């Protein structure tokens, strides 16, 4: 394998693919990057931990097609430290040589025979042909709203994922950690005629959100036990399409729709940015896992009290319909939900101080954030 390219092109590809390398790789070779130079002037860079796979490509002057496996972390640091300009890369099964300016570097290669084939290459589309096209900007917003609600507790693995419910004209994303629930509906084109539900790791969708900046469309293909996202990177010179693939999380996702009441007797409407600012300020006095207390009425009073630390309260102008009541929330969960809302105003729907509250944007039915209250002593 031998090719010449711009430092920034190979650096961008290496940084993208390296995010699929796990720090807890079960096989030493999975700490490597697969670099493949193809006839026609394309170099593909990929990595996988067998659950998440990320691959992209860039244009280069390919002198000798071939493939090699390089240590991912070391190769990434080296490409980042190279001087700007043209870079030459030549490799075989034993080592890889990198030339930049007046410098020459050699890195021992990993055994190519030990590196597994990429899951996105192994799988053939299933018989139902579940493909769809999604607007990248819309999907990026939806992921930013929902992924934050997934759990980080690996002991309940199904909750570390996001439900991906795809039908002919719509896609619903849902995530919960048992204390909060984020649900987003969005329109898609060319979806399947029959609804398909899969649960994807939040880590995968976090990487997808990160990769969507500046893209136009995302092509989604649901296969037997894997989903792949093909992202157009046409806005970046020298870069080709990127592919992110992920296996599903096995298990049954909670029946979240049962948690969403049809009606609520009490409705609060308040300016989003003002609520975020007050939640952040007063939340500084809610320490040691103590909650923020919201007193709902003609005005919204937010307060916090931590013994031996201090207390604070602030009042916001708000519009309220219903009976005055007091409800308390985890301050970070409240902040996450309000910041996920699109628009200038937030609507909070409340039953009483013990039932889950709903947070959404005024006039926006596409995103719903359900938040469990904290019981006040």
CATH number reported for the structural domain that contains residue 73 in this entry? 3.10.150.10
Measured from the Cβ of residue 309, the count of other Cβ atoms closer than 10 Å reads: 13
Residues 6+ apart with CB under 8 A from 209: 139, 140, 143, 144, 147
Identify whether residues 254 and 166 lie together within a single domain: yes
Give the pLDDT of residue 123. Answer: 53
Identify whether residues 170 and 46 lie together within a single domain: no
Give the pLDDT of residue 129. Answer: 47
SS3 280: helix
Identify whether residues 253 and 129 lie together within a single domain: yes
Does residue 78 belong to any structural domain of this protein? yes
Give the pLDDT of residue 353. Answer: 87
Identify whether residues 157 and 214 lie together within a single domain: yes
What's the distance, CA 122 to chain centroid?
24
pLDDT, block means (10 residues), the chain with 377 residues: 96 96 84 95 95 95 96 95 95 94 93 88 54 88 97 94 91 96 90 84 95 81 88 58 93 92 92 98 95 95 96 96 96 98 96 93 95 91
Give the pLDDT of residue 285. Answer: 96
Give the pLDDT of residue 339. Answer: 98
Give the pLDDT of residue 4. Answer: 97
Give the pLDDT of residue 233. Answer: 62
> Widest CA span of the chain, in angstroms?
76
Give the pLDDT of residue 119. Answer: 86
Residue 184: which H helix or E strand, with range? strand 180-187
Tell me the β-bridge partners of 53. 48, 245
Range of the domain at 314: 260-371
SS3 309: coil
Give the pLDDT of residue 217. Answer: 83
Give the pLDDT of residue 127. Answer: 40
Half-sphere exposure of 268 (CA within 13 A, CB side): 29
Identify whether residues 158 and 239 lie together within a single domain: yes
Identify whether residues 278 and 345 lie together within a single domain: yes
- Structural domains counted in the chain: 3
Where does residue 226 rank: exposed (0-12), middle (13-18), buried (19+ CB within 10 A)? buried
Identify whether residues 280 and 360 lie together within a single domain: yes
Does residue 284 belong to any structural domain of this protein? yes
SS3 38: strand
Of 229, 258, 287, at which residue does a domain stop? 258
Give the pLDDT of residue 238. Answer: 46
Residue 296 · residue 304 · CB < 8 Å: no
Instruction: Pull the structure tokens for residue 225.
Output: 């036990």
Give the pLDDT of residue 128. Answer: 44
Give the pLDDT of residue 223. Answer: 82
Identify whether residues 105 and 174 lie together within a single domain: no
Give the pLDDT of residue 69. Answer: 96
Does residue 376 belong to any structural domain of this protein? no
Of 232, 258, 284, at which residue does a domain stop? 258
Of 258, 288, 323, at which residue does a domain stop? 258
Identify whether residues 273 and 243 lie together within a single domain: no
Residue 277 · residue 267 · CB < 8 Å: no
């Amino acid at each position: 394998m031998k090719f010449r390219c711009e430092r920034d092109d190979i650096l961008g590809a290496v940084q993208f693919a390296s995010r699929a390398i796990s720090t807890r790789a079960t096989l030493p070779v999975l700490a490597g990057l697969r670099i493949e130079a193809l006839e026609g002037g394309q170099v593909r860079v990929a990595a996988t931990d067998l659950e998440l796979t990320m691959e992209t490509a860039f244009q280069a002057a390919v002198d000798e097609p071939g493939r090699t496996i390089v240590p991912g972390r070391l190769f990434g640091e080296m490409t980042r430290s190279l001087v700007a300009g043209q870079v030459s890369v030549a490799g075989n099964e034993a080592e890889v040589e990198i030339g930049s300016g007046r410098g020459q570097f050699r890195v021992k290669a990993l055994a190519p025979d030990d590196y597994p084939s990429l899951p996105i290459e192994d799988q053939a589309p299933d018989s139902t042909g579940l493909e769809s096209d999604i607007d990248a900007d819309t999907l990026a917003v939806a992921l930013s709203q929902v992924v934050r609600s997934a759990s980080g507790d690996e002991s309940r693995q199904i909750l570390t994922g996001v439900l991906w419910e795809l039908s002919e004209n719509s896609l619903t994303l849902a995530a919960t950690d048992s204390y909060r629930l984020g649900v987003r509906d969005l329109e898609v084109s060319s979806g399947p005629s029959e609804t398909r539900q899969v649960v994807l790791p939040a880590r995968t969708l976090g990487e997808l959100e990160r990769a969507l900046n500046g893209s136009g469309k995302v092509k989604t293909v649901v296969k037997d036990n894997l989903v792949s996202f093909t992202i157009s990177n046409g806005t970046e010179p020298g870069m080709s399409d990127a592919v992110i693939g992920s296996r599903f999380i096995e298990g049954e996702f909670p029946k979240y729709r049962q948690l969403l009441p049809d009606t609520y007797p009490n409705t609060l409407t308040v300016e989003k940015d003002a609520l975020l600012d007050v939640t952040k300020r007063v939340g500084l006095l809610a320490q040691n896992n103590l909650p923020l207390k919201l007193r709902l009425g003609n005005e919204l009073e937010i307060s916090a009290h931590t013994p031996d630390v201090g207390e604070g309260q602030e009042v916001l102008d708000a519009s309220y319909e219903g009976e005055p009541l007091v409800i308390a929330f985890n301050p970070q969960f409240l902040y996450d939900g309000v910041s996920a809302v699109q628009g200038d105003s937030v609507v909070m729907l409340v039953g009483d101080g013990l039932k889950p509250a709903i947070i959404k944007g005024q006039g926006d039915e596409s995103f719903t954030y359900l938040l469990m209250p904290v019981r006040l002593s």
